[in-house]
Amino acid sequence: MKNWVFSGAIFSSALISAGLLDYFSLFGVRPDLLLICAIAAAVYLPKRSGLFFCFLSGLAKDVFSVNQFPANTILFLLWGGVVIRLDKEFNLEDDYIFIGLVAGASLLTNLASRIFFWYAGRPVPLGIFLRITVIDCLYTTLIALLVLKSVPYWKKLSRKNNADQIS
C-alpha cells in the first residue's frame, strides 16, 4: 500500500514539476518536489524501497529537467543512502530533522549540479549561482514544511510505527 502512495507522489510531483510549477516560480526558481519525495521515501520506507524510490525520483527529475542525465539519479541515491545511514544513528522522523535533511540535500544538490555544469563547459556566474542556490534551498524547504504539515499520512507509513505494530 505504501509503495503505491509513494509511486503516486513521485508521478504527480514529476508532472507538477514539469508543468504547473512554472506559475509558482520565484525569481525563476521552482521548488524541488522530487527531492522532497526522495527524502521522505528514505525516511519513511524500508531500506530497499526507500532507495528504489530515491532512484525513481532522481530518474524522473533527470528526464524532466535540463541537467546532465545521470546527475540527479546518482545524487538522489546518494542522499537516500546517507539518510538511511543516519537513520541507524538518529531518529529522523521528527519534523525539524526532516526539514533539515531536505534543506541540506537541496543545498548540496544545487552545489553539485553547478559543479556538473562547470565541468560540462557551461559555467554559471557566481551571483546567479548564489541567488539560485539560496532561493531554491529556502523555497524547497518551505514547500517541504507545507507538505509535511498537510500530509500527516506519511507519518503513518513510518517503518518504525509499522515495526511497533507487528511486534
Q: Please, what are the domains in the chain?
A: 2-14+26-166 (1.10.1760)
Residue 167 is predicted with a pLDDT of 44
Residue 36 is predicted with a pLDDT of 95
- CA dihedral over 129, 140, 109, 91, signed as positive or negative: positive
Residues in the chain: 167
3-state secondary structure 102-141: HHHHHHHHHHHHHHHHHHCCCCCCHHHHHHHHHHHHHHHH
pTM of the model: 0.87
27: how many CB neighbours lie within 10 A of its CB? 9
Residue 153 is predicted with a pLDDT of 65
pLDDT by position in tens, the chain (length 167)? 568 888 888 999 999 988 888 888 888 899 999 999 999 999 988 999 999 999 999 999 999 887 778 889 999 999 999 999 998 888 887 888 999 999 999 999 999 988 888 888 888 898 989 999 999 999 999 999 998 887 766 556 655 555 544 44
Residue 100 is predicted with a pLDDT of 94
Whether 109 and 38 have beta carbons less than 8 Å apart is answered as: no
Residue 35 is predicted with a pLDDT of 96
Whether 70 and 52 have beta carbons less than 8 Å apart is answered as: no
In the block, cell 540535500 appears at 105
Q: Which three cell numbers stand for residue 126?
A: 557566481
